[in-house]
Amino acid sequence: MPDDSPHSPALLHEVASLPNLPGVYRYFDADGALLYVGKANSLKKRVSSYFQKNHGGTRIGHMVGKIARMETTVVRSEAEALLLENNLIKTLQPKYNILFRDDKSYPYLKMTATVPSCEAPRQGDAPGAQPLHFSRVAYFRGGVEKKHHYFGPYPSAWAVKEAVLLMQKVFRLRTCEDSVFSNRSRPCLLYQIKRCSGPCVGHISAAAYAQDVANAQRFLQGDAQEVLRDLEARMMAHAGRLEFEQAAELRNQVAALSSVLHQQSVDNISDRDVDILAVKVQGGRACVNLAMVRGGRHLGDRPYFPAQLEAAASLDEEGASEATTPRSIEQRVLEAFLAQHYIGIPMPGVLVISEPVDRVLLEALSEQHGIKVNAVHQPREQRRAWLDMAHTNAALQLARLLSEEGSQQARTRALVQALDLTVEVLENLRIECFDVSHTAGEATQASCVVFAGHAMQSAQYRRYNIEGITPGDDYAAMRQVLTRRYGKVAQVHAQARLQGEVLPVAARMPDLVLVDGGRGQVSMAREVFESLGLDLGLIVGVEKGEGRKVGLEELVFADGREKVALPPDSAALMLVAQIRDEAHRFAITGMRQKRAKVRMGGGELESIAGIGPKRRARLLQRFGGVRGVAQASAQDLASVEGISRELAEEIYRALH
């Protein structure tokens, strides 16, 4: 180790004592924040390389200079190290690793299990047959249950809904909720337009419906041609027995399925389940486009954009020194995506990829999922067409992202210039915007949204329940939310000034505080900031223009400056409007959720013994919500159908 190393002797001794074994290492800074997670065939060689070289002012040198502590984990193999590394990256989000945001779970198409039912036999069932629950097809997202059948995953909700529509058109499977299905006395509109076979009223036998379900499952699994041949054979058999009505039904099903197969162009495709991945890197950003083929049908694609690309790229290149051949940035991005994306979700056995990937990674994925994973780097025929399409989409999505980021940075710069803000680095500009929402004073909520790093930071949004004010008093609501947001921050600022300490990052005030409103709301914000001893120059009100038209807003200042009316095409005004509209959206959605909870009972009525769905609905309908129920007397409650005097008194006691 170099003698002039900035690191502690204890850390350098720990590095020198590492074993020549495979494992995972983690670097932390002086505050305990995780900087980087890496894997190694030999922990000693890999980790020592960071501390023995002079990295200068590079990103690697910047990161290495921050290392204050290290943790290592020894594993049995390089594949095991790779899996542990990417589990840690995905869960801990280190600052200097290539990170792929963990999006919401993928949607699936769900078919409920066909199980014995307690319902009475329906028309068309064989005499003595045990009644069955008729399988339902539906859009699904969440944790799966083993008793049901799931098909997918699909890249988008739209793709699932298209598949559900397909199940209705070709196989006429039901999509209604079980509660609706079990209470129908005549078929619904879907039966009339030939999108359902009407099992709810016995227009199809359980055996025939089960056959349609089985055919639908085989189709979704990629056996479309076999399903088509079986339907044709059944059609000819019915025709041979002179059962022309049944033959005509099957003929229509064959025609619909043939049309779908022609539109999907899957007649000659042997691949069942395939993921196609293409990478495009440009302008310091990257895009991985993932396209999905399930059951031989191309279901669409989804783009992914990694974070920390530039910082992580140089570090990954340093870590790749053990490899026999250098890897391109595209390869490193694709390998990071594969390792992180398939944690916790199923993957197909075939990957069609735009860049070659490490054999160890494929072995690790195979071990993790219990299947043999094959990667095709230079595909032919249909796979080549799929890959070309994925690569084109990756380029288009990346161009769109770069364009949006460029315009957003231009908006940030324009706002800083228009308001003469003292911000040295545009990426550090932080704006907080407040809005108040309610319905005639009911369920008042205030929102705080945050803009930083040229983007809205939804993880930092906050909602505030406003209580103890006159209903509908927006000024009092604004006073309360600003006091709650900045009261403790002001105390920290005052204490730091007295003791001459440096302010912690968490106590940093934003560079701009936007309030949705004109002079009245700005005056209220001014009073709060004056009482807290905060800078009035931070407050800017967004006053609606003449006729409340978008683009005519004016900016009102709390420090006495004259109002500013920016041109409608001003980039600064566009950014202000974007932030203000997001604050309004966030406030109004929270208010609606709170209002719905109050009006629908919020769980209070449900917790009272003897109150089921029907009685709860009657109470809420009679008194207009749980607040009305709470204000009613026991005598008024007893006047509702199904509510006895004893139950009315119990409700009154529970709500008071």
Three-state DSSP class for 132? strand
**Mean pLDDT score, 119-123:** 49
Q: Is the pLDDT of residue 601 over 50?
A: no
Burial class (CB in 10 A: 0-12, 13-18, 19+), 267: exposed
Closest CA to 231 of 220, 216, 162, 242: 216
Mean pLDDT, range 283-289, rounded to an integer: 87
Residue showing tokens 């390792």: 339
Give one word for 184, left, alpha or beta, with left for phi > 0 and alpha for psi -120 to 50: beta
What's the alpha-carbon Rg for the chain, to the nearest Å?
Answer: 32
Q: Does residue 131 contact residue 120 with C-beta atoms inside 8 Å?
A: yes
Domain pair 9-86 / 426-597, same fold: no
Backbone angles phi, psi at 444, to 5 degrees: -70, 130
Number of neighbouring beta carbons within 10 Å of residue 263: 9
For β-strands 374-376 and 350-353, DSSP reports them as parallel
Q: Which fold has domain 600-655?
A: DNA polymerase; domain 1 (1.10.150)
CA distance 102 to 96: 17
627 versus 288: the higher-pLDDT residue is 288
pLDDT at 469: 85
Q: 47-86: per-residue pLDDT in tens?
A: 888 887 776 656 677 788 888 889 999 988 888 888 888 8
Homologous superfamily of 426-597: UvrC, RNAse H endonuclease domain (3.30.420.340)
- Nearest CA-CA partner of 510 in 573, 455, 450, 585: 450
Of 478, 447, 477, residue with least CA distance to 541: 478
Lowest mean pLDDT across 136-145, 317-326, 646-655: 317-326
- Interacting residues of 88 by C-beta distance below 8 A, sequence separation 6+: 24, 26, 37, 94
pLDDT band at 236 (very low <50, low <70, confident <90, very high): confident
Token digits of residue 235: 């059609």
pLDDT for 30 = 84
User: For 168-183, what is the mean pLDDT?
Assistant: 84
Instruction: Please tell me which residue, 189 or 266, carries the higher pLDDT value.
Output: 189
Specify the higher pLDDT residue, 320 or 624: 624
Judge: domain 9-86, CATH 1.20.59.10. no
| Residue scoring higher pLDDT (500 or 177) | 177
What pLDDT does residue 270 have? 61
Which of 284, 297, 301 lies closest to 387, judged by CA? 301
Could you give the CA distance from residue 118 to residue 519 in angstroms, rounded to a whole number?
66
Query: What confidence tier does 124 reach under pLDDT thresholds 50, 70, 90?
Result: very low
Whether 229 shows a pLDDT value over 80: the answer reads no
Select the more confidently predicted residue: 180 or 250.
180
β-pair partners for 55: none
User: Are 244 and 252 spatial neighbours (Cβ–Cβ below 8 Å)?
Assistant: no
Q: Where are the domains of the chain?
A: 9-86, 274-399, 426-597, 600-655
3-state secondary structure 395-436: HHHHHHHHHHHHHHHHHHHHHHHHHCCCCCCHHHCEEEEEEE
Considering only residues 127 and 474, tell me which one the structure prediction assigns the higher pLDDT: 474
Where is average pLDDT lowest: 207-211, 360-364, 550-554? 550-554
Is residue 156 within 8 Å of 300, Cβ to Cβ?
yes
CATH topology for 274-399?
Nucleotidyltransferase; domain 5 (3.30.420)
Higher-pLDDT residue of 493, 75: 75
Residue range 406-423, pLDDT digits in tens: 888 888 888 888 888 888
Is 275 within 8 Å of 347 (Cβ atoms)? yes
- Mean pLDDT, to the nearest integer, of 575-587? 89
Most confident listed range (227-231, 286-290, 441-445, 619-623): 286-290
Residue 94's pLDDT is what? Answer: 87
Look at residues 512, 596, 516 and name the one whose alpha carbon lies nearest to residue 559.
512
Q: Output the average pLDDT for the chain.
A: 80
- 8 Å CB contact between 51 and 110: no
Tens of pLDDT, residue by residue over 76-114, are: 888 888 888 888 888 888 888 888 865 556 788 888 876
Question: Which range, 295-309, 353-367, 631-645, has the best average confidence (pLDDT)?
Answer: 353-367
Q: What percent of the chain has a predicted confidence (pLDDT) above 70?
A: 83
pLDDT of residue 277: 94
Report the DSSP beta bridge partners of residue 455: 452
Task: Give the tokens for residue 245.
Answer: 């009505």
Retrieve residue 77's tokens.
């193999």
Contacts of 477 (CB under 8 A, 6+ apart): 436, 438, 444, 446, 466, 469
User: Where residue 266 falls among pLDDT bands split at 50, 70, 90?
Assistant: very low
H helix count then E strand count, the chain: 21, 18
* Higher local confidence (pLDDT), 266 or 264: 264
